Homo-oligomer: A and B are copies of this chain.
């Protein structure tokens, strides 16, 4: 018997991704978002949902671009900080001792210390309610050499992305390997 918990943003897993932008003065900013996903294969796209009140919101609209920097679990404190402070008041990169790197492809900075980066140009904007969903076309993915695995792709066990649990407000790491996708279901 399932118990009703009400209309809540309660689903697992959600990602911990850091959205990079430049403000009107060219100051780099970074904010953590968990309401985010890959949302299309062709063209490859991600969505990030931000509240209009965030400082990053205006920067995305103005620059029509953003990056997504995916932190490793060793940077979980920095990721948490980037979700609490506002770029309106501080330079979050400086405070968190992180290094902004200017993307060559889009008008936005990414986080040098994080192992996996997406560079995105704004493709669609969808107003939903408290949050606005931005769809960005992924123009390139960049990764640190040391997280690359077989076939030259990033290895999830080396990237060690962070998982966020909404409502329960916890962070978790990546756990054990469960199987090969598009393969293990053939046994049924």
A178 touches B12 (CB 8 A): no
Residue in B2, B38, B173 whose beta carbon sits within 8 Å of that of A166 in the complex: B38
Contacts of A41 in B (CB 8 A): 9, 35, 51, 129-131
Number of A positions contacting B (CB below 8 A): 106
Cross-chain contact of A138 among B8, B124, B177 (Cβ < 8 A): B8
Q: Which A residues between 107 and 147 are near B, CB-CB below 8 angstroms? A: 116-118, 123-124, 126, 128-131, 133, 135, 137-145
Residues of B within 8 A of A161 (CB): 12-13
Within 8 A of B (CB), among A19-39: 34-39
Copies of this chain present: 2
Measured in the bound complex, the distance between the Cα atoms of B38 and A154 in whole Å is 25
Using A10-B141, A152-B5 as known contacts, say yes or no to A176 and B172 having CB atoms under 8 A apart.
yes
- Given A38-B166, A130-B41, are A10 and B153 neighbors across the interface (CB < 8 Å)? yes
A184 touching B129, Cβ below 8 Å? no
> What is the minimal beta-carbon distance from A187 to any residue of chain B, in angstroms?
6
A3-B145, A143-B3 known; A83 vs B182 contact (CB < 8 Å): yes
Contact (Cβ within 8 A) A142 B40 = no
Annotate A71-109 by CB proximity to B: 1 below 8 A, 0 otherwise. Answer: 001001111111111000000000110000000000000
- Residue of B whose beta carbon sits closest to that of A159: B12
Contacts of A8 in B (CB 8 A): 44, 138, 141
- A51 nearest CB neighbor, chain B only: B41
